[in-house]
Amino acid sequence: VSAPEEVRIGIVGAGFIGDVHSAAYRAVAGIYPDAPRRVTLAVVADADAERGARLASAWGWERAERDWHAVTRADDVDVVDVCVPNALHAEIAIDALQHGKHVICEKPLAHDVASARAMCEAAEASGRLAQVCFYYRLWPAIAWARQLVERGEIGAISHFRGWMLQDYAAAAQHDLGWRQRRSDAGAGALGDLGSHISDIARYLCGEIVEVCATTRELVARPGGSTGIDDIVSMLVSFESGAGGVLEASWALRGHKCDLGFDLVGDAGAIRFSWERSNEIEVLTGDPADPMNGFRRILIGGGIQPDTARFSGVPGQGMGYRDAFTIGVGQLLRALETAETSVEPTFADGLRVGQIVAAAQESAQRRGFVRVATA
Ligand SMILES: NC(=O)c1ccc[n+]([C@@H]2O[C@H](COP(=O)([O-])OP(=O)(O)OC[C@H]3O[C@@H](n4cnc5c(N)ncnc54)[C@H](O)[C@@H]3O)[C@@H](O)[C@H]2O)c1
C-alpha cells in the first residue's frame, strides 16, 4: 500500500473547538510518526470572516474562506473537519463525503437522529473514513479502563455511574449562543455533555437499551426560558443486564470538566474523573483482605495506550488538547495503513444520538423508553 506523503486538511468552523483541532494538526506529525509525514493545514472556512482569518493566521492555515463549500469541494483537500454548530454537521459532512473527502466531525454527530442516520449512510456509500470526535474515549486512562474490563480484571460489570458535569453556563448572564437554540443544537446539556458520557458508558459497558430520564432548566436566564435542558439525570439499562445512572449538566456549580465514572464489576471496580485526568483508581483482589482497597495509578510512561507517544517518563502528565492529537492521529494513521474505519465511527455517533432522543422522549413521557436501534 502506498502511504500518502501528505494529507491536506480543510476545517469548517473557527470557534472554540476549531482552535483545539488546529493545535492537534500542528502537533500530530511529531506525535504520530507512523502517520503521513506531512499534514498541511490547507483551508479554513467560517461564516464569520474575521474568525476565519484569525484562526488562519494563528495556526498557519494556508487560506481562509467564508463559504464551507470552498472546503468540501476543494481539489486540494483530503480530510474535511466539521467544527460548526450541531445542526450544520450533516449537510457539510455529507457534501464532503460525496466529494471524496474523509471526514472528522465534532460531536454530537448531528442535532437529530434522521440527520445522524443520513450521515452514516453517506459514510458507508463513500468508502471514506468518517470519525466522530468522542475523543474522551481515546484518553489513555479511559482506553486502559476498557482494556482492564476486556481482560476481566474487574469481572462482569454490574453497575456504571457516569457523569459529565460542568459549570460554564451556571451564571444567568452566560450567553449560551447557538447552544440554547433547539434548532441549532438539538438538545441542551443532554446533547452537549450527556452525549459524551453516553459514549463512554457504551464504550465501557456495551450498548444501552433502555433509559428513564428527567431534564430540567436550572438557570433563570435574562431572556426567559430557553426551553432547553441545563441538566439531565437518567437511569440506563445495558444489553448485558447491567444497570447504570448517568448525569450531565453545564450549570452545576463547582464542577469544571468533571467527566467521570464509577465502574463496578463483580471482581473489582475502576474510578476516574477528568478533574484528575492523569490518574485512575483500580480495585481488584480479595474483598476479605483488610488491606484491599483502591490503588491510585498515574497514567503515562507507555503503560496505557498512546502515553509513550507523549512522554516515556511516567507521571509527567498530558492534557485536554492531547486527546485531540490522539483523535486526529488515529484517523491519519488509518489513512497511512489503509484501514477502512476508525473509531469513534459515525455509527457510534448515531447510536449516541438514539440514546439522546430516547432520553428526550422519556423526559417528556415521564417513563422508561427503549433505545431505537434501527
Ligand atoms: N469534543 C469536544 O469536547 C467539544 C468541545 C466543544 C465543542 N464541541 C463541538 O464542536 C462544535 C462547535 O462548537 P464550538 O464550541 O467550537 O462553537 P463556537 O460557537 O465556538 O464555534 C462555531 C463556529 O462555527 C461558525 N459557523 C457558524 N455557522 C457557520 C456556517 N454556516 N459556515 C461556516 N461557519 C459557521 C461560527 O462563526 C463559529 O466560529 C459543536 O458541534 C460542539 O458540540 C466539541
Reported as a single tens digit per residue, the pLDDT across 198-225 is 999 999 999 999 999 999 999 999 888 8
Kindly report the protein residue whose alpha carbon is nearest to atom 18 of ligand 1.
15
Distance CA 280, CA 370 (A): 32
Pocket of ligand 1 from Cβ distances under 6 Å: 12-18, 45-48, 51, 68, 83-86, 88, 106-107, 133, 135, 177, 192
H runs (alpha helix) in the chain: 16-31, 49-59, 69-72, 89-98, 113-126, 140-150, 182-185, 189, 195-205, 307-310, 320-336, 346-365
Interval between CA 15 and ligand 1 midpoint (Å)? 5
Interval between CA 87 and ligand 1 midpoint (Å)? 10
pLDDT bin (cut points 50, 70, 90) of residue 5 is confident
pLDDT of 371: 98
Ligand 1 atom nearest to CA at 48: 37
Q: Is the pLDDT of residue 1 over 60?
A: no
Ligand 1 atom nearest to CA at 19: 16
Reported as a single tens digit per residue, the pLDDT across 237-280 is 999 999 999 999 999 999 999 999 999 999 999 999 999 999 99
Interval between CA 110 and ligand 1 midpoint (Å)? 12
Matching residue, cell 422522549: 361
Residue 80 to residues 28, 147, 331, 368, Cα–Cα distance (Å):
16, 31, 12, 38
Reported as a single tens digit per residue, the pLDDT across 311-359 is 888 889 999 999 999 999 999 999 988 899 999 999 999 999 999 999 9
CA proximity to 251, closest of 315, 328, 189: 189
Mean pLDDT of all residues belonging to the chain? 96
Kindly report the protein residue whose alpha carbon is nearest to atom 30 of ligand 1.
47
pLDDT of 151: 98
- Residue among 16, 137, 274 whose CB has most ligand 1 atoms within 8 A, to mutate: 16
Interval between CA 14 and ligand 1 midpoint (Å)? 7
pLDDT bin (cut points 50, 70, 90) of residue 3 is low
pLDDT of 95: 98
Kindly report the protein residue whose alpha carbon is nearest to atom 4 of ligand 1.
17
Interval between CA 158 and ligand 1 midpoint (Å)? 37
Q: Is the pLDDT of residue 310 over 90?
A: yes
Interval between CA 178 and ligand 1 midpoint (Å)? 9
Q: What percent of the chain has pLDDT over 70?
A: 99
Residue 59 to residues 26, 226, 273, Cα–Cα distance (Å):
8, 35, 31
The CA-based dihedral angle spanning residues 299, 260, 24, 7, taken in that order and rounded to the nearest 10 degrees: 100
Interval between CA 349 and ligand 1 midpoint (Å)? 17
Interval between CA 250 and ligand 1 midpoint (Å)? 16
pLDDT bin (cut points 50, 70, 90) of residue 115 is very high
Reported as a single tens digit per residue, the pLDDT across 134-185 is 999 999 999 999 999 999 999 999 999 999 999 999 999 999 999 999 999 9
Reported as a single tens digit per residue, the pLDDT across 163-176 is 999 999 999 999 99
pLDDT of 2: 60
Q: Is the pLDDT of residue 96 over 60?
A: yes
pLDDT of 17: 98
Ligand 1 atom nearest to CA at 14: 39
pLDDT of 37: 77
